[in-house]
Amino acid sequence: MLQGSYRGLTNFVTEIRDCKTYDLEKERVTKELEKVQSILSEPKSKPYDRIKSTLKLLYIQTLGYDISSFENHCLSMAKSPNYLEKRAGYLTFPTFLGTETATQDRIMRILQADLVASDANVKLLALSTLSSLSPSETNSKAIIDNVVPLLMQKCSRDLYQRAISCLSLLCSTETGWKFLTSQDAAHMLQKCLTEKDPGLLTSTVSFLYKLIFVAKEVGQQNIFSFLLPGLFQVLNIWLLDSSFDSSSYSYYEIPCPFLLSNVWKLIGLFPASTIMEFNRQSKSLISNLFLKCLSYIRNGDHSNRRNASFSISFEALKVVSKLPFSRDLFIHSLTLIMSLISEDVRPTTRYFVLRALTELSFLPETWTNIQRNFSILLPFSQSQGVDKEREEPLWFHLSVELLSSVCNANNVEQVLDYILRICSMFSLSDLQQRLVMDKCLSLTKRFLQNEEKLFTVVVVLLSVCDEAKTGEITNLFLTQLHGSKSLQSESMKQFSQLLYSGSLLEPGLLRLIFLVFPMHSYLLISSGACNAVDVITLLYRQMCYHKKLYSLQSSFLNFLMKWIECHPEAVATAVDILKKYTTSQDLEVQIRACEYLKFISSQLRSYE
């Protein structure tokens, strides 16, 4: 738009782009700067020419040239009574804000003067510029002195929204925070929440969310608990008050879903005890509001209406689920949520169900419903026309999170089984595989007491996880193994069955065998389940499938030395295997095999 309005600017940009070398560009820029200097220095130059010259300076600055010598001219433009000149001068503020303090002070004085101007457009320009600046003590003082009064008096919709956006800067400075925690700020914020315009309310709630979020990080959110009555009053007016006509702001008969879901989200930042204290004073207003939100789901028959109701209901559920309401209320919610999957198979509906069930994971009935309706965890079983590549990661993440949340000591085995079953139905990225391993390990450590099941889980995890996670899984198993005779006996029995089955074992599982067998081999040998020679023969066959894993080969050679130390009868077989590794493609493996052969040879000679 600017290039089309100022022909000289368009021509200048075209000429710069046509320059073939840096020297030609620099020559053209220098010539133009001299022209700009003469225009801006001439008191009688036309506003059109001054604006065009200022815009040329901005373009020259984007090319990397220094325009600091034009600082006075640009700031003078920002003080012009002509709005178009003022706007052009304002555009140069970001260029000079990073310079010395005196310049920043001049800019702030210009902004402060325009914030109290009679022209609403000038005020709007100053507010827009101020809201885009970095937080500082100077900015905060200007906002408190000049912006806050705008919010306390009648002003236009645009001015109000720009003024609210400026308040966000106060959250990051000491001066600003001191004001926000004062009685004056409390009065102002309570007044802002009495607005009926949904656009103004949305701006207010967005600012309050940032404010409470910052307060929560330092454990001070209860300072702003005085906002709760106003927030619930907003919900009450829009959801329950029959005297208020919200039809003009409804989306598929749902009033302002974006605003109301943000209000619930903001309320959720407060501690449960603080919210419950308000609920006792309000005679169970919260449960009535929550039931009203759920009613939009029950009565929804259009996909867009359903989606709008999901956003409100989910944020409301996140608040209500952490409060000590009656069991009947939660069972009612669970029943309503589960009814959705029988009539609506769209991914958005399934996503809502998975998220909602996660919030209700404290109910025993939630786990029961998952068992009865396992298909809700599966990807796209009935959905048509779904972009699987885009939707699968979210579906997978929600399913795993839900199963993790309902896990306890009584169902951990089945939960782990479900997680691994779900994994087999997705094409998992490396990141998703690591997520699964982390979840399974966490659940195993927290809940799994069944030793036989522990062995099964560890075997499965070692079979599917990457090398980075095998160490953690192995350490977990070895810790449990060290203190349990029954686990030692059972694991050795299971390991021998795996070896004799002939199935290909994953590297992580083989590493675990190399660590466990030398310590507890007597359990196998003494029972007659196998002999020492068979063990290393079977393991060597497994190693033949991993010829490129040289670190695994080194581990195997270390295992051989420990094995023959415990079982001398296997020395001959071990020597034959070591000789084969002396021709390995990896130099370290070759050297290790040769050193072990020399050591065995010297030991045999000493015995003779």
pLDDT tens for residues 383-394?
454 556 666 778
Q: What confidence tier does 433 reach under pLDDT thresholds 50, 70, 90?
A: confident
Report the pLDDT value the prediction gives residue 35, as an integer from 0 to 100. 92
Report the pLDDT value the prediction gives residue 428, as an integer from 0 to 100. 72
Residues in a beta bridge with 254: 251
Q: CA Rg, the chain, in Å? A: 36
Report the pLDDT value the prediction gives residue 1, as an integer from 0 to 100. 37
Helix or strand holding residue 251 (H, E): strand 250-251
* Tokens representing residue 469 in the block: 């996670």
Single-letter amino acid, residue 12: F
Single-letter amino acid, residue 341: I
Report the pLDDT value the prediction gives residue 237, as an integer from 0 to 100. 92
Contact at 8 Å (CB) between 357 and 365?
Answer: no
More confident residue, 62 or 456: 62
Report the pLDDT value the prediction gives residue 284, as an integer from 0 to 100. 79
Extents of the domains making up the chain: 1-96, 531-608
Report the pLDDT value the prediction gives residue 382, as an integer from 0 to 100. 46
Report the pLDDT value the prediction gives residue 558, as an integer from 0 to 100. 92
For the residues 28-55, what does the mean pLDDT come to? 91
Report the pLDDT value the prediction gives residue 2, as an integer from 0 to 100. 44
**For residue 409, how many other CB atoms are within 10 A of its CB?**
10
Single-letter amino acid, residue 140: S
Does residue 257 carry a pLDDT above 50? yes
User: CA–CA separation, 277 vs 20, rounded Å?
Assistant: 72
Single-letter amino acid, residue 494: Q
Report the pLDDT value the prediction gives residue 138, as an integer from 0 to 100. 83
User: CA–CA separation, 226 vs 222, rounded Å?
Assistant: 8
Report the pLDDT value the prediction gives residue 31, as an integer from 0 to 100. 93
Residue whose token pair is 């939707």 = 391
Strands of 455-524 (E only): list them. none
The CA-atom distances, in angstroms, between 485 and each of 305, 451, 520, 532 are 60, 11, 10, 21
Single-letter amino acid, residue 192: C
For the residues 229-237, what does the mean pLDDT come to? 93
Does residue 476 carry a pLDDT above 80? no
For the residues 302-322, what does the mean pLDDT come to? 87
* Tokens representing residue 435 in the block: 């997520």
Q: What is the 3-state secondary structure (H, E, C) of 505-554?
A: CCHHHHHHHHHHHHHHHHHHHHHCCCCHHHHHHHHHHHHCCCCCCHHHHH
For the residues 83-106, what does the mean pLDDT come to? 84
Report the pLDDT value the prediction gives residue 214, as an integer from 0 to 100. 93
pLDDT tens for residues 63-74?
999 888 898 998
Least confident of 3-12, 44-53, 194-203, 592-601: 3-12
* Tokens representing residue 395 in the block: 């579906």
Report the pLDDT value the prediction gives residue 529, as an integer from 0 to 100. 67
pLDDT tens for residues 409-427?
888 888 888 887 887 777 7
Nearest to 208 by CA among 199, 198, 196, 221: 221
Strands of 342-497 (E only): list them. none
Does residue 128 carry a pLDDT above 80? yes
Report the pLDDT value the prediction gives residue 343, as an integer from 0 to 100. 66
For the residues 570-576, what does the mean pLDDT come to? 91
Contact at 8 Å (CB) between 67 and 24?
Answer: no
Helix or strand holding residue 255 (H, E): strand 254-255
Tell me what the pLDDT averaged over the chain comes to. 86
For the residues 583-608, what does the mean pLDDT come to? 86
Judging by beta carbons within 10 Å of its beta carbon (0-12, 13-18, 19+), is residue 293 exposed, middle or buried? buried
Give percent of the chain with pLDDT exceeding 70: 93
Does residue 274 carry a pLDDT above 70? yes
Report the pLDDT value the prediction gives residue 4, as an integer from 0 to 100. 45
Residues in a beta bridge with 255: 250
47-50-53-57 Cα dihedral, nearest 10 degrees:
-130
User: CA–CA separation, 440 vs 437, rounded Å?
Assistant: 5
Angle between helices 507-527 and 485-501 (to 10 degrees): 110
Is the whole model's pTM more than 0.85, yes or no? Answer: no
pLDDT tens for residues 326-381?
899 999 999 999 988 776 667 788 889 999 999 999 999 999 999 988 877 776 54
* Tokens representing residue 455 in the block: 């062995």
CA angle, 553 as apex, 552 and 556 as ends, to 5°? 90
More confident residue, 181 or 522: 181
* Tokens representing residue 26 in the block: 């620099």
Residues 325-336 as b or e (16 or more Cβ within 10 Å = b): beeeebeebbeb
Reduce the DSSP state of residue 335 to 3 states and report it.
Answer: helix
Judging by beta carbons within 10 Å of its beta carbon (0-12, 13-18, 19+), is residue 252 exposed, middle or buried? middle
Contact at 8 Å (CB) between 146 and 115?
Answer: yes
Does residue 265 carry a pLDDT above 90? yes
* Tokens representing residue 523 in the block: 């359990």
Terminal alpha carbon distance of the chain: 98
